Chains A and B, each alone.
Chain A
Amino acid sequence: MKTYEQINGRIESGKAVVLTADEIMDYVDKKGLTAAAEEVDVVTTATFGTMCSSGCFLNFGHSKPKIRMSEAWIADVLVYTGIAAVDVYLGATQLRHGDPANMYPPGEFRYGGGHVIEDLVAGKKLQLFALSYVTDCYPLREIRTYFSIEDLNQATMVNPRNCYQNYNVAINCSDETIYTYMGQLEANQKNVNYSSAGQLSPLLNDPYYETIGVGTRVWLAGAHGHVYSEGTQHASGCERTPGGVPTGGAGTLAMTADMKQMRKEFVRGVSLRGYGVSLALGIGVPIPILNEDILKRTCVRDRDILAPVIDYGNDYPQNTGKTVCQVNYEQLRSGEIEIKGKKVQVGSMSSYYKALEIANLLADEIRRGDFYLTRPIAAMPKDSGMKPLLKREQE
């Protein structure tokens, strides 16, 4: 048994033993659970993938004379201005003005909110164009100017849903190619795409949210941020394997961090042909090894994690709730799985390579004493469900 204080004490003295979730299983196999739980202080987990529910609040400061922005665009991408005068929210999936979207399908979706966020973090100069309906206190009618992230008072990433605990594997059982947020899916079950870091993924290593909760310090694209809430659609009351691993989406995290501290290689605009734009993010979450049970759950392997194969040609869009079958991540990573006796090629939307890089970067930061662990100030809901949207007539 260890406490957060003891672990942080060992980090401070430079003696913390930190392993990645990729290394811990073999370590525990070699040392035994009890000895390893004594010895290991932290296991680092990570993921890198497309996370659509991401965005940022930006504050521009005041022009002379002042403006109360009622409509605004950054690099021609619309931002939300229904908050204070020069605060805006920029969402990852907002498409650039004038993009033909899927007018001539499949559209290319070259630039949008995610790309603006990437360009901001990369330090590029971008155009701000804003209009106002004019008030006595804010007389300026419009402004067109150029700014970089350094010019902003605050650039705070606030993501309502990141780090899905597990995720669907997408297949297409229809007889036409389809273009989805899970990529291009060929007709007649020719390929599948998955999107999870599997055994390295944060919530798959802490399936019951014992250490990850509201207030947990996280590594968000290189910045030190924190979990501010359970993520939207957090549905922890789901089916689980005997080891506690959810067999579907399940938990999610809402997180925030200062964009000025982020590294551009972990904040990347995404263009999904025929679907839209988004943002890929790199996230690292440390798990304090407080006891043997917590350590045991970080030893989860790809072969122990099941994901549902869902037909995006019919069942997903029609919300039928049907599953084609279940597969594990070891099978997925082999590059080929068998479905209904037929060999199907596998692609990944999530980068294990980058996730591994992040888990190692975070482990190094902890070993150097640059990153400390926090005890959550509130736990994540343990048994929440997910409600559907009902179509009702007006009463």
Chain B
Amino acid sequence: MSETITRKLMLYFPKCECEKPIIYHLVKDYDLIVNIFRAKVTPEEEGYLVLDVTGTEEQIQASIDFVKTFNVTVNFSGKGVTRDNDRCTHCGYCVPYCPTDALIITNGATREVIYNEDECIECLACVRVCPFGACTAAF
């Protein structure tokens, strides 16, 4: 039995694929545990979805291959929330508003604000509070 892992994915659904129950198949056919953080269908009927999938490496890979047959773009690294390192001043204003410590000061001497994307649950609090517009949402 392979080890169970969790991966965070961002999916982009073009207009024609929005009405298909793709996530249902991830659960039913690939036995994955899914945790959806954020989803949106635009007025142009395009869809965005950020989710965690938990299963074996093989299950996840097979499910991604399946998803790709629908013309869906799978993005592994670019998450729904990004922090622009040039715009961030490391003031630390966002830190208490981040509920999962994805934005955190770990080095008390330099007081650099670290952004750990894997911990982000896409609540968008940082997008709303950052005075410098350093955090932005992809959708």
User: Which residues of A are at the interface with B, using a C-beta cutoff of 8 A?
Assistant: 48-50, 183-184, 191, 193, 265, 268-273, 280, 333, 335, 345-354, 356
**Complex Cα spacing A345 to B96, Å:** 6
Quote the shortest CB–CB distance from A268 to chain B (angstroms).
6
The answer to whether A335 and B132 have CB atoms under 8 Å apart is: no
What chain A residues lie within 8 Å of B110 (beta carbons)? 353, 356
Identify 11 residue pairs between A and B in the complex whose beta-carbon atoms are under 8 Å apart, listed by A's number.
A271-B131, A271-B132, A272-B131, A280-B131, A335-B105, A345-B96, A348-B92, A348-B93, A349-B91, A353-B112, A354-B91
B71 close to A (CB within 8 Å):
no
A26 to B12, CA, bound (A): 54
Counting chain B residues whose Cβ lies within 8 A of the other chain, the interface size class is 20 to 34
Q: Chain B, 104-126, contact with A by CB distance < 8 Å: what is the 0/1 string?
A: 01001011110000000000000
Asked if B78 is at the interface (CB within 8 A of a chain A CB), the reply is no
Report whether A351 and B91 are in contact in the complex, using a CB–CB cutoff of 8 Å: yes
Measured CB to CB, the residues of B under 8 A from A are 86, 89-97, 105, 108, 110-113, 128-129, 131-133
Q: Is B89's CB under 8 angstroms from A280's CB?
A: yes
Residues in B neighbouring A333, C-beta threshold 8 A: 108, 111
Q: How far does the alpha carbon of A347 sit from the alpha carbon of B92 in the complex, in Å?
A: 6
CA distance A272 to B129 in the complex (A): 8
Q: Separation in Å of the A8 CB from the closest CB of chain B?
A: 31
Nearest-CB distance from B1 to chain A (Å)?
Answer: 41
Closest A residue by C-beta to B134: A268
Asked whether B89 lies within 8 Å of A183 as measured between CB atoms, the reply is no
Quick check: A347 and B96 within 8 Å, CB to CB? Answer: yes
Smallest beta-carbon distance B106→chain A, Å: 11
The complex places the Cα of A265 from the Cα of B110 at a distance, in Å, of: 17
Residues of A within 8 A of B86 (CB): 265
A205 to chain B, nearest CB (A): 18
Once A and B bind, how many residue pairs between them come within 8 Å at the CB atom?
67
Most buried by A among B90, B96, B108: B96
How far, in whole Å, are A273 and B97 apart by their CA atoms in the complex? 14
Contact B111 A347, beta carbon cutoff 8 Å: no
Least CB separation from B130: chain A residue: A271
Question: How far, in whole Å, are A387 and B108 apart by their CA atoms in the complex?
Answer: 39
Cβ–Cβ contact A184 & B129, under 8 A: yes
Q: How far, in angstroms, from A353 to B96 measured CA to CA in the complex?
A: 17
State A264–B93 Cα separation when bound (angstroms).
Answer: 21
Contact in complex: B89, A273 (CB < 8 Å) = no
Contacts known (A183-B129, A268-B132); A347 close to B89, Cβ less than 8 A: no
- What residues of B have a CB within 8 angstroms of the CB of A351 in the complex? 89-92, 111
Cβ B133 vs Cβ A271 within 8 A: yes
Cα(A356)–Cα(B110), bound, Å: 7
Question: Residues of B contacting A354 with CB < 8 Å?
Answer: 89-91
Bound-complex Cα distance A243 to B34 (A): 58
| CB <8 Å contact, A273 and B111 | no
B93 touches A353 (CB 8 A): no
Which residues does chain A contribute within 8 Å of B96, judged by CB atoms?
Answer: 191, 335, 345-347
- Closest residue of A by beta carbon distance from B113: A353
Contacts of A356 in B (CB 8 A): 110-111
Of chain A, the residue at the smallest CB distance from B104 is A335
Q: Which of A265, A273, A348, A350 contacts B129 (CB 8 A)?
A: A273
B108 touches A50 (CB 8 A): no
Q: How far does the alpha carbon of A333 sit from the alpha carbon of B105 in the complex, in Å? A: 10
Cα–Cα distance between A19 and B114 once the two chains are bound (Å): 27
B132–A280 touching, CB < 8 Å:
yes
Contact (Cβ within 8 A) B93 A193: yes
- Chain B's closest residue to A334 (CB) is B108
CB pair A335 B95 closer than 8 Å: yes
- Nearest Cβ on chain A to B108's Cβ, whole angstroms: 7
In the bound complex, residues from chain A placing their C-beta under 8 Å from that of B94 are 347
| Complex Cα–Cα for A352 and B95 (A) | 14
Residues of B within 8 A of A346 (CB): 96
Cβ-neighbour of A50 out of B95, B112, B129, B131 (below 8 A) = B131
Q: How far is the CB of B97 from chain A (nearest CB, A)?
A: 7
CA distance A272 to B108 in the complex (A): 26
Contacts of A193 in B (CB 8 A): 93
**Residue of A whose beta carbon sits closest to that of B94:** A347
Q: How far is the CA of A193 from the CA of B96 in the complex (A)?
A: 10
Bound: A253/B97 CA distance, A? 32
Residues of B within 8 A of A335 (CB): 95-96, 105
Cα–Cα, bound, A353→B106 (Å): 12
- Assess the A183–B113 pair: CB atoms within 8 A: no
User: In the complex, which residues of chain B have a beta carbon less than 8 angstroms from the beta carbon of A48?
Assistant: 89, 91
Kindly report which residue of chain B lies nearest to residue A280, judged by CB atoms.
Answer: B89
Q: Are A352 and B131 in contact (CB under 8 A)?
A: no
A347 touches B95 (CB 8 A): yes
Query: Chain A residue with minimal CB distance to B90?
Result: A353
Question: Could you tell me the distance in whole angstroms from the C-beta of A111 to the nearest C-beta in chain B?
Answer: 10
List of A residues within 8 angstroms of B111 by Cβ: 333, 351-353, 356
